[in-house]
Structure 1
Amino acid sequence: MKIIPYKDTYDPGLLQPVPRAPHRRELGIAESLPFTGVDLWTAYELSWLDPSGRPRVAMATFVVDARSPNLVESKSFKLYLNSFNQTELASPESLRQRLIADIGNACGMPVDVELKLPGAFGDERIEELDGELLDDIDAEIRDYRPNPALLRTGRSETDETLVSNLLKTNCPLTGQPDWASIQVRYRGPRIDRAGLLRYLVSFRRHGGFHEQCVEHIFMDILGRCAPERLTVYARYTRRGGLDINPFRTNCGEKPPRNVRTARQ
């Protein structure tokens, strides 16, 4: 059995930036983005030492602007957070400022960081994504690689929010499954719901980072269905004490509150 050492003293060099531009070029996204948005990260396993050597714990929310040139590879993010385990810090605010500096440096753009200390843990809520559920539609599904041809529209116009809990993608580095609930809110030609469900399930064997998969879905729906307004938001279940929740919109919609779903 191979033992992988974990560093438990502060090391920002563990963070591994991944440029967004190459994958966006594959999707036909030019330098001017067709959306705004954020990546909401939640860290559930964060600990450090106070000046007396006592362990402290917290949860953290990170807000990364979609305009940042880089995302951060999630395992490297976890290893970086673990590097605080035996690191002495003067205060929670000292930790927060260090997180802001390091992650902002890795992403290439300032980020927002909020710490939730144990006294506020009881305020944590669970909410499911709002919208009409697609998952019980009686549809035969045979495509398990992204297939935008499954997306179809009718002649009527609508304004609706649709949700599925059946999105599965896979880590491009390890092949491990990534599970998510996804919300599609749009105004425009009515999207065939069975086709949308088939399309979302077609990502089941696809490898991509969470942020890339949501942008892939956004661009396919935008290109195939031509909605006037479109928002795509996914909440991925946590792995390694982290969940990642990308949000993309072309209508100026404000990012949602970072409230976890039951599966997270």
Structure 2
Amino acid sequence: MSQNTPEQSQLGKASAYIDRYDPSLLYPLPRAAKRQEIGITGRIPFLGADLWTAFELSWLNPRGKPQVAIAHITIPAESTHIVESKSFKLYLNSFNQSVFESADAVRDRIRADISAAIWHGEAVQGSAGVKLLLPEVFDREPVHELDGVNLDRLDVECTHYQPAPELLRAALHEQPVTETLVSHLLKSNCLVTGQPDWGSVQIRYTGPQIDQEGLLRYLVSFREHNEFHEQCVERIYMDILTRCQPTKLSVYARYTRRGGLDINPWRTSHPQQPPANIRTARQ
């Protein structure tokens, strides 16, 4: 089977917006190559998921009346592929003039199509999760910032704008601590177009205490780095794991939406429930 590459995708190109259901619009990208860059070969050393929110989802009911919903989509980190975000948008647009019997039918169709894409021809080992929120519950959707100690309070000098793991330090010979640290200064750029991707990141860990100034400077160092959201979070996870040696670690980022989609990768060292897919103020 041929391998898709980001450069072959619709990113940065003029696209026809098809409004009749077409699952072939989904463009899977393999995770393996980028994982190899950060030293991951074979079994991945974390659990987790990519939590997507689709704010622009609509279809027609059997009487031709438009319906709208917000979709929460959970893609397991162990899947062999991600779905390129513009192709995801084009795919969702293809529902616009398509008739579906019910919201449940739309949900089931999305789940089947995304599950097939993220395993890209292999047996589906873990299905995507899909939840549709209909207009009657829109008013219950909260806005909440990530919990934790705010690193951005620190008055640090920043001089690195490409990932600099050497900035990470921890008190390896002192008693372990348990902390949750947060920054809103994460910025990276799209791997293909170079457009800015803005995010907030939460780091939960147990282990040698991480130097907060070094961690903040490290997070800022992604500012001119070109990589997809999922790949940035896995890079952050592996750098902290390698250099700070925590016994438990979770890294969770919430990126601002583009094209009606936000992508929120979460990686963790130990089994637990995924974080609630609650948007921040910037999303």
Partner of 2:208: 189
Partner of 1:101: 112
In structure 2, distance between residues paired with 1:114 and 1:3: 30
One-letter code aligned to 2:281: A
One-letter code aligned to 2:113: D
More strand by share: 1
Q: Which residue of 209, 223, 242 maps to 2:228?
A: 209
Moved more, 160-169 or 2-11: 2-11
- What does 1:1-264 align with in structure 2 at a 5 Å threshold? 4-108=15-119, 109=124, 110-154=127-171, 155-156=173-174, 157-264=176-283
TM (norm. structure 2) is 0.91
One-letter code aligned to 2:19: D
- Superposed CA RMSD in Å reads 1.1
In structure 2, distance between residues paired with 1:253 and 1:169: 28
1:119 offset after TM fit, Å? 0.7
SS at match of 1:135: helix
**Matched residues, percent identical?**
59
1:3 offset after TM fit, Å? 6.0
**What are structure 1's unaligned runs of at least 5 residues?**
none
- Where does structure 1 differ by over 4 angstroms across 4 or more consecutive aligned residues? none
1:30 offset after TM fit, Å? 2.1
1:253 offset after TM fit, Å? 2.8
In structure 2, distance between residues paired with 1:260 and 1:72: 21
In structure 2, distance between residues paired with 1:211 and 1:5: 27
TM (norm. structure 1) is 0.97
1:158 offset after TM fit, Å? 1.2
TM-superposition CA deviations, 1:200-219 (whole Å, max 9, x none): 00000111111110000000
In structure 1, distance between residues paired with 2:14 and 2:55: 24
One-letter code aligned to 1:24: R
One-letter code aligned to 1:138: D
